[in-house]
Structure 1
């Protein structure tokens, strides 16, 4: 149980750091590898942790929300971005609590 808790704490802190440093990340979600630029991380209306991204590859939606508990094989790329996605809006309305945002 401690290993799962440690992993969750690591992943949460790492997502916050990736947003702050504008670092691209890659992960598997619903069996597809997603290559993304993280934009906003927080808690949604159903009390699930959510990650809003600008998706570069792995799916057709450009700025989807992902349930963090379903993210697998999270990797931090040695690549960075300078601007938010084209539809990014500060204060994401899908989240009632925002931990970190661009």
Structure 2
């Protein structure tokens, strides 16, 4: 699954997946590790969320992602993040450039 997310980040392609029983469509921006958990920071643009309005930034634990698909649809690239930078990771594996 990491390889698919790296591919999507490098090609700036949207991803679709289920997370905690809800369908999601998102722009993957950072794949990294925090507290030994591999996570992807996404700008979620569609689907459902239990945390509120969309679109918005969401962080997803890879081991909870189900049915990941890389879509043919591209996104423009980096987006402004409210703090001016993406949230911190202990180690970054891939980042949208």
Band the TM-score falls in, shorter-chain normalisation = 0.7 to 0.9
RMSD: 1.5
Q: Match of 2:65?
A: 71
| Larger RCO: 1 or 2 (CA < 8 Å, sep 6+) | 2
Larger radius of gyration: 1
Q: Match of 1:41?
A: 31
Deviation at 1:83, TM superposition (A): 2.8
* Structure having the larger proportion of residues in strand: 2
Moved over 6 A (4+): none
Deviation at 1:76, TM superposition (A): 1.1
The gaps in structure 2 that reach 5 residues or longer are none
The gaps in structure 1 that reach 5 residues or longer are 1-10
Query: Is the contact between residue 25 and residue 77 of structure 1 (CA under 8 Å) also seen in structure 2?
Result: yes
**Which of 52-61 and 75-84 deviates more?**
52-61
Query: Is the partner of 2:15 in helix, strand or coil?
Result: strand
Task: Tell me the number of residue pairs that the alignment of Structure 1 and Structure 2 aligns.
Answer: 89
* Structure having the larger proportion of residues in helix: 1
Q: Match of 2:74?
A: 80
Deviation at 1:12, TM superposition (A): 0.8
